[in-house]
Amino acid sequence: MEWFNDFWSTYSTLVFSVGVHALLALSIWLTLSCGLLSLANAAFMGVGAYVSALLTLHLEWSFGSVLLAGGIAPTLVALIIGAPVLRLSGVYLAMATLAFGEVVRITVLNLEITGGPEGLNGIPLATEGWHIALILAVAVYGLARLRRSKVGRAFEAIKEDEVAARLMGINVDRYKLLAFSLGAFIAGVAGALNAHFTFFISPREYGFENAVDILTMAVLGGTSSLIGPMLGSSILTLLPELLRSLQDFRSLVNGAVLVLVVLFLPKGLWESRRIRAFFKRLKGGQA
């Protein structure tokens, strides 16, 4: 098992990042499934990261407690801002949630308790691989059940036609707020996990660029199933590492891959109908 120990000592942070990014992609998949183009997930991740880190550093809460607090804190924020913000839609909602993210970033920058622009150092390394694997498995199971439930069908109806959903008696505002809040909870937990394996967090990690990255993960993989966002997040996390040999051209190749996917696979890499059709043709060819 020496090879595994060498691999883990070198790439453990990368593996952890794949799991955390999968949670973030699922968090925005949840809002997209309700037709909400929100860019607040990076800010929710930041709220969860800072709340959990501060509780660990100053109050010495247990790891389980700070993970829960890291999810609840952004959920409460989502409930507060959701009522006015979710009246908007499309690009206006994206702009409003992006502005919220900037408010969170600037607030963190100017608070002494958060370390200001220098961030927080010395966060205990409490996150282990099984923590991320277990939470990711629970999130996937819960979202899969949610998707097949009455709530999931309501989300789909709102996404397809909000006016028709209202006429059918669906409480659109309540379901939008539910999707927004659940997405905030998952993003907050991801932030708490991330804070406790990176040792250091700063406001730069939760700004505009990170918000766009999270959206790109879901769009790249495809939003027609839960597999798509996780696939997209894994590719975007691993691609820079795989292209390391290209050095200065790494960002160029990374961007080119994304552009090609958007042009030729607008519904993402993992589109359920296309995958099913592929396997049907494969079975037909074997027959």
Mind listing the pLDDT tens digit for each residue in 63-79?
Answer: 999 999 999 999 999 99
The model's pLDDT over 116-132, given as tens digits with 9 standing for 90+, comes to 888 898 899 999 989 99
Q: Is 4 among the domain residues?
A: no
Specify if 36 maps to a domain.
Answer: yes
Residue 265 lies in a domain: yes
Number of domains in the chain: 1
Domain membership of residue 46 (yes or no) is yes
Residue 127 near residue 196 (C-beta atoms within 8 A):
yes
* pLDDT for res 268: 78
Query: Would you say residue 138 lies in a domain?
Result: yes
From 35-39, 165-169, 280-284, the region with the lowest mean pLDDT: 280-284
Spatial neighbors of 81 by CB under 8 A, at least 6 apart, are 100
Cα 285 from chain centroid?
Answer: 38
pLDDT higher for 136 or 277?
A: 136
1 pLDDT band, cuts 50/70/90, is low
236 in a domain, yes or no? Answer: yes
pLDDT of res. 236: 85
Query: Mind listing the pLDDT tens digit for each residue in 222-266?
Result: 888 899 899 989 988 888 777 776 666 656 666 677 677 777 777
For all residues of the chain together, what is the average pLDDT? 87
Q: pLDDT confidence of 284, banded at 50, 70, 90?
A: low
Domain around 221: 11-286
Given this model, what pLDDT does residue 262 score?
Answer: 72
CA distance 38 to 110: 25
120 φψ region: left (φ > 0), alpha (ψ -120 to 50), beta (else): beta
Please check the confidence at residue 269 and state whether its pLDDT lies above 60.
yes
Mark out the alpha helices in the chain (DSSP H runs): 2-32, 41-54, 63-85, 90-109, 129-148, 150-160, 162-167, 172-198, 208-221, 227-242, 250-264, 272-286
Q: Is 191's pLDDT higher than 80?
A: yes
The helix or strand, by DSSP H or E, that contains position 99, with its residue range, turns out to be helix 90-109
Q: Domain containing 40 — which CATH number?
A: 1.10.3470
2 within a domain of the structure (yes/no): no
User: What is d(CA 171, CA 168) in angstroms, rounded to the nearest whole number?
Assistant: 9
pLDDT in tens, 14-43: 889 999 999 999 999 999 999 898 999 999
CB 180 within 8 Å of CB 36: yes
Asked whether residue 3 is domain-assigned, the answer is no
Query: Looking at this protein, which amino acid is placed at residue 10?
Result: T
